[in-house]
Every structure is written in structure tokens, then in C-alpha cells.
């Protein structure tokens, strides 16, 4: 699962990098996107941009290489590749002989102006006199989490087979289907959760968020929205101050639509005043730009799970989503206002395996969401428990299915033994029985064995 998480985060920038050059260049028209993209780079790449910021002349690649220590050439290459992909560095070599680079002039100008002016915020918040009543920071955070959980709960509900409690939002359903988390069959009225969907439920919230946003952006293309502009806006959103109201009229039509849809995900809250409408970015929106870089250590997750050596699981939560997520692999026994108690049983774990979750995902979920009281312990999940979960998994995998061929009716023992020896040599022997003269060989090696048998036959007939 850790691998999955990194991939899902990295690929947003990959998606940005895969935009056509013209769209990418248009992204650099706004200094907010320039800043966001700069911050998403690796430390070394950032340093290169900073160093080249006030150099107008093209720089030969050779000089760039002189900046790094001899041991770090690999890092250097990675950084340069990334910069080129994002068109931050533009290849301006005239002859084929020497590669020379210069900074994308648009980005260069935007960043220079940031250095002069010192950033600031994208748009001014509305004065408090116009805005009726703003939610407090905790209210807003609760709102964001609530919205987000509602979205994910829709996924869970389709897992449990019950009809969705709230009418499933078409827009979200579409995104889930696009991401392959829900099945999308035309004839079925209710779509079912897929294996990927189950695995998705066990991911961290930030990875979930990114996966959804990524699908959202790629879905935008189909709906006729410019995904370049959308990415620009998403990157810009992270620079707004959390909890401040911003007038909707300052946004373009497309951005307004995007804000309304993002509000469903809990990234912003839209409020209607007497005259104006405004949106308030939430913590989720701010975390969007923070998580662009791959520094995962900056993502504290609030833990709530305690696992005991007797396979008891205590979840200190009142959230429906977290309860439902636990229910995926825990047999819940009773529920108190702020606590759910259950135990890990063979049946509960097996049902999780059946829906496509593996042992490592369960264990890492329990580790990542460990309650702060047990989080410092090593290991967070008792070894007896984690080992048992793994054992249960290997239990399921006791049978291995392989395509194979059976050979029988060998004319003589010699040929039988020659075939067995040959099959063993090419590592295709699965089973042999000398008394009945039968051999089983891996299916993909059938041709080899057949030609070997032919050779044997011709050899023996010649001898006769």
C-alpha cells in the first residue's frame, strides 16, 4: 500500500506534465500556478529554478552539471528531466552538439514578480460587514469532514448492498465509476463496488482525495471543460486562506461551476448572502497544495484504532465512515457513542479477502490509524495479530492453479525417464508417476516437450 500511495500522489503532477505544451504554457500565465508547481518539485529542482531565475542567457547543460557534487549526478538527471517535462526548462540548443537550457520565460517573469511583491493572496476576502455569519474554524472543519465522509459513504453503501441512504449523487457516482471504484454496467440500476473500491477505502484521506481529484479533472475534459484551466484553479485554490469568504463573482463561469462541485467533496463551502454568494475554502482545499510535494511526513493522520493481542479492536470514533471502514474486516460487537468494539475473526478477515483486500492493506490501515496512545509503540499492531492475518491470507492461497499438460501411454520406461529428465531441466516438471508412466508439465512448455518427444521418436525409429 505505501507504494500505491506514492503513485497516486505523484501522478497528479504527471498528469500536469502530460498536458500539451500549449496548455502547460497557459498554466504559467498565473503566478499562483507557477508557485504551486515550483513547490511541488523536488528540493534539488527547486534550487535549480531559483538559481536560474535571474539568468537570461541560455545555460549549457555542462554548467548545470557543475553545480552538483559528483555523487549526485543521478539526482541531477532526475531533476532536469522533471523540469523539462513540466516545460520549466526549455531546451534552446541551436546546434545538436551542446544542450543548452533556459527557464520558461513566462514562469521566470511570474516568479520574479512574486519575489518582488512577496506573494500575497489570490483575491481579497469579502469584508466582514457584508458577510452575514461565518462558520468558526471547527465548524468549517467538521463541515469539510462531514461532506467528505458523505461522499465516501456512498461508496460504502453500495458495498453493503443496501440501497444508498441518500440518493447517490450522479456526479460523484460518475467519478467513482471512472476511477474504477464502482462497476458501471448500463443495465444495472445500482452499481456495485469493485476490488479497487475496497482497497480505496483503506487508503489515507489525502491519497483518496488526490485520486478523486485526478478523476475529476480527467472527467472534466469529457464534459467540455478545459482541464488546463481547471488544474490552474485547483492549484490556485490552495493559496486562499482557510475560513475566509471569497466572492463568487470574482470567479469565471467555469470556476464557479468547479467550486460548486468541489463543495460536494467538502473542499469549499458555498454560502448565499443577501446579494452575493461566496465560498469558503476548507482545510481539505489547503491540504491539496501541501500534498503536492512528496513529503509525506507532513501529513498527520488522526488515529483512533487500538488493537489488542487478543484480537480485540477498539475504534474511538463516532464517524459512520470510520465505523463502516472497520466493518470491512472486523466483526463489530457493540457500539457506544464514541467507541466501537469488535474483534478480528477468521470469518471477518476472510470476507475482506473475498472482496479483494489483502493482508498488508489491513495491517497498514491498522498501523496508520493507530490511536495516539498506542502509536508510539513498536509494533503498533501486536505481532501475533499481524502474523495471524498474514497466515489467514496464505491459507486462502494454498492452492495454486497452473495450466498444465498431462502425458501418458509412454511406449517405454526409457522415453518416460528421458522426458521427466528433460522437463526437470527446463523447470517445467510439476508431477510424475513412474508406476503409471504419467507426467504433468507446465502448459507454456508444451511445445518444447512435444518437439523433444518427436526427436526421441525419430531417434528410436532410426535405431530400429
Partner 1 sequence: MDILNNIESSVGNKHLLLYIMWDLADDVSLVIVVVDVNPYFWVEKANASTGTSDIDFEQFLQHVLAFMNAILLLNHMNYLAVIATGSDSCSFLYESLAGESVSDGEGKPPSKRMNKHHTPSAKIVRGLKDFVSKELAFKTERKDNGKRYSLLSGSLSMALCYVQRILRQDPPHPHPRILCFQGSPDASQQYIAVMNAIFSAQRLMVPIDSCMVGSQHSAFLQQAAHITGGIYMKPPHPEGLFEYLMMVFATDLHSRRFLQLPRPTGVDFRASCFCHKKTIDTGFVCSVCLSIFCKHHKECSTCGASFSQNKSSFVTGQKRKLSTN
Which residues of the shown chain bind partner 1 in the complex (CB under 8 A)?
Answer: 35, 38-39, 43-44, 46-47, 50-51, 53-54, 66-72, 75-76, 111, 114-121, 124-125, 128, 238, 241, 244, 289-290, 293-295, 297-298, 300
| Closest CB to partner 1 among residues 51, 192 | 51
Q: For 408, which DSSP code?
A: -
The Cα–Cα gap between 115 and 166 comes to 49
| Closest CB to partner 1 among residues 243, 266 | 243
The Cα–Cα gap between 36 and 237 comes to 10
C-alpha cell belonging to residue 389:
492475518
Helix (H, G, I), strand (E, B) or coil at 44: helix
The Cα–Cα gap between 114 and 122 comes to 12
| Closest CB to partner 1 among residues 204, 215 | 204
| Closest CB to partner 1 among residues 39, 102 | 39
Residue 45 CB, shortest distance to partner 1, in Å, is 9
| Closest CB to partner 1 among residues 72, 92 | 72
| Closest CB to partner 1 among residues 241, 459 | 241
Q: For 127, which DSSP code?
A: P
Strands (DSSP E) contained in 121-201 are: none
End-to-end CA distance of the chain: 63
Residue 46 CB, shortest distance to partner 1, in Å, is 6
Residue 376 CB, shortest distance to partner 1, in Å, is 11
Any idea of the CA torsion for 132, 135, 136, 141, to the nearest 10 degrees? -160
Residue 73 CB, shortest distance to partner 1, in Å, is 9
The Cα–Cα gap between 37 and 104 comes to 13
Please give the angle made by the CA atoms of 45, 282 and 272, to the nearest 5 degrees: 135
| Closest CB to partner 1 among residues 71, 383 | 71
Find, among 135, 200, 167, 125, the residue nearest to 355 by Cα: 200
Find, among 197, 187, 274, 285, the residue nearest to 236 by Cα: 285
* Contact predicate 263/271, CB 8 Å: no
| Closest CB to partner 1 among residues 66, 409 | 66
Strands (DSSP E) contained in 157-261 are: 246-247
Rg (CA), the chain: 29
191, exposed or middle or buried, with CB in 10 Å at 0-12, 13-18, 19+?
middle
Residue 255 CB, shortest distance to partner 1, in Å, is 22
- Strand duo 331-336 + 339-343: pairing: antiparallel
| Closest CB to partner 1 among residues 31, 442 | 31
Residue 122 CB, shortest distance to partner 1, in Å, is 12
Residue 217 CB, shortest distance to partner 1, in Å, is 21
The Cα–Cα gap between 100 and 60 comes to 4
| Closest CB to partner 1 among residues 244, 393 | 244
Residue 65 CB, shortest distance to partner 1, in Å, is 10
Residue 71 CB, shortest distance to partner 1, in Å, is 6
State the number of CA atoms in the 13 A half-sphere of 177 facing the CB.
15
342, exposed or middle or buried, with CB in 10 Å at 0-12, 13-18, 19+?
buried
Q: How many CB atoms lie within 10 A of CB 71?
A: 7
How would you label 193-214 residue by residue, b for 16+ Cβ within 10 Å and e otherwise?
A: bbeebbbbbbbbbbbbbbbbbb
What angle in degrees, to the nearest 10, is found between the helix axes of 31-40 and 227-237?
80
Q: How many residues does the chain have?
A: 464
| Closest CB to partner 1 among residues 128, 142 | 128
Residue 293 CB, shortest distance to partner 1, in Å, is 7
Residue 75 CB, shortest distance to partner 1, in Å, is 5
Residue 417 CB, shortest distance to partner 1, in Å, is 56
C-alpha cell belonging to residue 426:
527446463
| Closest CB to partner 1 among residues 92, 241 | 241
Amino acid at each position: 500500500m505505501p507504494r500505491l500511495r506514492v503513485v497516486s500522489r505523484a501522478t497528479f503532477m504527471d498528469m500536469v506534465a502530460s498536458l500539451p505544451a500549449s496548455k502547460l504554457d497557459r498554466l504559467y500565465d498565473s503566478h499562483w500556478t507557477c508557485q504551486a508547481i515550483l513547490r511541488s518539485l523536488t528540493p534539488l529542482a527547486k534550487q535549480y529554478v531559483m538559481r536560474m531565475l535571474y539568468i537570461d542567457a541560455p545555460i549549457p547543460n555542462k554548467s548545470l552539471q557543475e553545480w552538483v557534487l559528483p555523487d549526485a549526478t543521478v539526482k541531477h538527471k532526475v531533476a532536469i528531466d522533471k523540469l523539462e517535462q513540466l516545460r520549466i526548462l526549455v531546451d534552446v540548443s541551436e546546434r545538436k552538439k551542446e544542450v543548452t537550457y533556459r527557464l520558461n520565460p513566462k514562469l521566470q517573469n511570474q516568479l520574479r514578480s512574486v519575489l518582488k511583491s512577496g506573494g500575497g493572496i489570490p483575491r481579497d476576502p469579502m469584508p466582514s460587514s457584508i458577510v452575514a455569519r461565518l462558520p468558526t474554524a471547527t465548524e468549517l472543519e467538521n463541515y469539510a469532514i462531514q461532506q467528505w465522509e458523505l461522499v465516501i459513504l456512498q461508496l460504502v453503501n453500495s458495498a453493503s448492498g443496501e440501497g444508498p441512504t441518500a440518493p447517490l449523487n450522479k456526479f460523484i457516482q460518475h467519478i467513482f465509476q471512472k476511477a474504477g471504484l464502482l462497476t458501471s454496467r448500463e443495465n444495472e440500476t445500482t452499481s456495485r463496488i469493485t476490488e479497487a473500491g475496497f482497497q480505496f477505502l483503506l487508503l489515507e484521506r489525502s491519497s483518496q482525495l488526490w485520486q478523486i481529484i485526478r478523476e475529476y479533472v480527467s472527467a472534466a475534459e469529457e464534459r467540455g471543460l478545459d482541464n488546463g484551466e481547471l488544474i490552474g484553479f485547483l492549484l490556485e485554490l490552495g493559496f486562499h486562506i482557510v475560513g475566509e469568504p471569497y466572492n463568487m463573482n470574482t470567479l469565471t463561469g467555469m470556476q464557479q461551476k468547479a467550486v460548486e462541485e468541489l463543495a460536494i467533496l467538502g473542499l469549499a463551502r458555498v454560502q448565499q448572502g443577501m446579494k452575493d454568494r461566496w465560498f469558503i475554502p476548507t482545510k481539505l482545499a489547503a491540504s491539496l497544495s501541501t500534498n503536492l510535494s512528496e513529503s509525506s511526513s507532513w501529513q498527520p493522520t488522526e488515529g483512533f484504532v487500538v488493537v489488542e493481542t487478543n484480537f480485540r479492536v477498539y475504534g474511538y470514533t463516532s464517524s459512520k465512515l470510520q465505523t463502516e471502514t472497520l466493518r470491512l474486516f472486523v466483526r463489530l460487537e457493540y457500539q457506544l457513542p464514541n467507541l466501537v468494539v469488535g474483534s478480528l475473526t477468521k470469518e471477518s478477515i476472510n470476507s475482506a479477502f473475498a472482496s479483494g483486500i489483502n493482508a498488508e492493506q489491513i495491517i497498514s490501515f491498522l498501523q496508520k490509524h493507530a490511536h495516539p496512545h498506542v502509536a508510539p509503540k513498536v509494533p503498533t499492531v501486536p505481532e501475533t495479530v499481524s502474523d495471524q492475518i498474514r497466515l489467514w491470507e496464505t491459507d486462502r492461497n494454498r492452492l495454486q492453479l497452473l495450466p498444465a499438460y498431462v502425458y501418458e501411454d509412454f511406449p517405454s520406461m526409457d522415453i518416460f525417464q528421458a522426458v521427466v529428465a528433460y522437463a526437470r531441466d527446463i523447470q517445467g516438471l510439476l508431477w510424475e508417476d513412474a508406476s503409471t508412466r504419467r507426467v504433468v508439465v507446465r502448459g507454456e512448455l508444451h511445445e518444447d516437450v512435444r518437439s523433444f518427444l518427436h526427436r526421441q521418436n525419430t531417434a528410436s525409429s532410426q535405431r530400429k
